[in-house]
Amino acid sequence: MAQSSYGTENNNFGPGVAYSQLDAALLVYQEAGGRVSATEPTLDLSIHGADGRVLTGGLVADAVSGATPNGAVPSTVSQNFVTPLKARGSTASVTGASGGSTIIHLPPTPGQLATAALGRQYTVAPNTLPVDKGFRDHRGAITLGWSQPLGAISDVGFGGGFSRETDYQAISANAHIAQNLNSANTTVSLAVNSEFDSSSPFGGIPTPLTVMNAQWKTQASRNKSQLGFVLGVTQILSRRWLTQLNYSFDRQSGYQNDPYRVISVVDPSSGQPTSTLYESRPDNRQSQSVFWDNKLDLDPFVTDLALRYYKDSWGISSKTAELSERINFGTAFYLEPNARWYQQSAANFFHYYLVGGQPNPAFASSDTRLGSFTALTYGAKLGFALNGRSEVYVKGEYYQQTGNGHPADAIGQLRQQNLFAGTKAAMVFLGYSWDFH
């Protein structure tokens, strides 16, 4: 039993003891160049029974805003982009505009809107990465879970989640089973997860590879379903070494486009954009990954090394290595520097742009997140035990993607542009954890 500065308090929160744990945290995220910023408070509560039953619940809120790359290439001349404004068919007057946008009047379009409506137009300066500054969203999510021993089975459980933002909704359900073997030095587990998402983008669902426009689209939403499992083995190898090996499989079917993202069609000799099309991604995606985590306790140092290999049916493969080193200074304070290296290959339908005069491929996206790049994360965490029952911690991280902004086959003016729209971001995470009876 841990000793407490309060002397007579019961600070035993281990197995066989009924207790509750409250975790609260705040994430603040900011991208460089005035791009996305996010604030995310989270709250988790778990109630542990003495018999191994655990009830968990969580709440997450998100507020996200900022400029987002729209997928078009930069140009030596200024570019205009138009996108829907206000509600479907709205003709309400608009007195102002934000984020460098202007309001435009749309002529009636056969088959779409019977009357004139309003659209939003934003202009991107020459030699500048096209971004839409009108991006703003809020998200709320709730999760619930239950697990318990069942007869000879060490642990079975199920859970669910619901997440909603202005233009997206996700419902998920999961179940797991785990068995301890070999004096609880080995745990074998299987978890399955299913998710049902609905995308209702502002302006409706654009038809892939049609010209970007400000009209509201006739289709309001599309769905995506997901089914996956994780098979894992956790093994305590020695007094100091814990290892975990997971194999994951995941399958997604349905709408997987980013409805706001476009791709430029450029002139085959000058490289100047001649039109802007909505992107197009396949409806099906299967992915697999192998994840291997190692924790080594060389008191007062705790090393965590995690490796992951990922591969999917879109042609993307990635490698990830994460290392953290926790240094305990007595029982009241610790410092934990961390680093992460990540490298991915491009999806087989990733293109920086499409070339005019050639037939369009069935699928095309210029989303840098589907391109080839390397990302590095550096960070450090500081933790303070307030007493035997609670801990407060702060973690700061810097994240940077590096990619090829100057592909060898770039055409005309594109040779002088940086075509990689990767992310640089800083984040701060404040957390508080409290165990109580």
Partner 1 sequence: MRRPLLIILMAGASISIAGCTAIGPKPWEKDLMARHEMLVDAYPLLIAADEHIYFSKEASSGGRGFAGGGCGCN
Which residues in the 291-310 window bind partner 1 by CB under 8 A?
A: 291-293, 295, 297, 299, 302, 306, 308-310
Report how far apart, in Å, the C-alpha atoms of 144 and of each of 56, 174, 404 are.
6, 10, 42
For residue 106, how many other CB atoms are within 10 A of its CB? 20
Query: How many angstroms separate the CA atoms of 403 and 367, rounded?
Result: 12
Q: Applying CB under 8 A, does 25 fall inside the site for partner 1?
A: yes
- The site string for partner 1 over 127-146 (x = CB under 8 A, - otherwise) reads ------------x-x-----
- Site size for partner 1, by CB under 8 A? 96
> Is the CB of 29 or the CB of 420 nearer to partner 1?
29
When binding is defined by CB under 8 A, the residue of 52, 54, 158, 168 that contacts partner 1 is 168
Of 98-117, binders to partner 1 (CB under 8 A) are none
> Is the CB of 23 or the CB of 267 nearer to partner 1?
23
> Is the CB of 215 or the CB of 318 nearer to partner 1?
318
Q: Applying CB under 8 A, does 237 fall inside the site for partner 1?
A: yes
When binding is defined by CB under 8 A, the residue of 75, 117, 131, 195 that contacts partner 1 is 195
Q: How far is the CB of 324 from partner 1 (least distance, A)?
A: 10
Query: How many angstroms separate the CA atoms of 437 and 433, rounded?
Result: 14
> Is the CB of 216 or the CB of 258 nearer to partner 1?
258
Is 79 within 8 Å of 272 (Cβ atoms)?
A: no
Of 197-236, binders to partner 1 (CB under 8 A) are 197, 199, 226, 228, 230-231, 233-236
> Is the CB of 109 or the CB of 345 nearer to partner 1?
345
Candidate segments 72-80, 247-255, 276-284, 410-418, binder of partner 1 by CB under 8 A: 247-255
Long-range contacts of 120-125 (CB under 8 A, 24+ apart): 120/82, 120/83, 120/84, 120/85, 120/214, 121/80, 121/81, 121/82, 121/83, 121/214, 122/80, 122/81, 122/83, 123/78, 123/79, 123/80, 123/81, 124/72, 124/74, 124/78, 124/79, 124/80, 124/81, 125/78
Of 316-355, binders to partner 1 (CB under 8 A) are 316, 318, 320, 326, 328, 334, 342, 344, 347
When binding is defined by CB under 8 A, the residue of 82, 106, 214, 425 that contacts partner 1 is 425
Query: How many angstroms separate the CA atoms of 159 and 58, rounded?
Result: 11
- DSSP output for 113-152: BSS-EEEEEEEE-TTS--EEEEEEEEEEEEEEEEEEEETT
Q: Applying CB under 8 A, does 376 fall inside the site for partner 1?
A: no
Strands 262-266 and 354-355, sheet pairing: parallel
Q: How far is the CB of 68 from partner 1 (least distance, A)?
A: 10
Q: Applying CB under 8 A, does 27 fall inside the site for partner 1?
A: yes
Candidate segments 72-80, 145-153, 393-401, 411-419, binder of partner 1 by CB under 8 A: 393-401
Candidate segments 72-80, 109-117, 162-170, 214-222, binder of partner 1 by CB under 8 A: 162-170
- DSSP output for 279-326: -B--SEEEEEEEEEEEEEEETTEEEEEEEEEEEETTS-EEEEEEEEEE
Of 61-100, binders to partner 1 (CB under 8 A) are 62, 64
Query: How many angstroms separate the CA atoms of 90 and 325, rounded?
Result: 56
Query: How many angstroms separate the CA atoms of 243 and 185, rounded?
Result: 10
Candidate segments 22-30, 105-113, 268-276, 355-363, binder of partner 1 by CB under 8 A: 22-30
> Is the CB of 277 or the CB of 316 nearer to partner 1?
316
> Is the CB of 93 or the CB of 183 nearer to partner 1?
183
With vertex at residue 108, the alpha carbon angle to CA 107 and CA 112, rounded to the nearest 5 degrees, is: 130
The answer for residues whose C-beta is within 8 angstroms of residue 344's C-beta and 6 or more apart is 310, 316, 317, 318, 372, 373
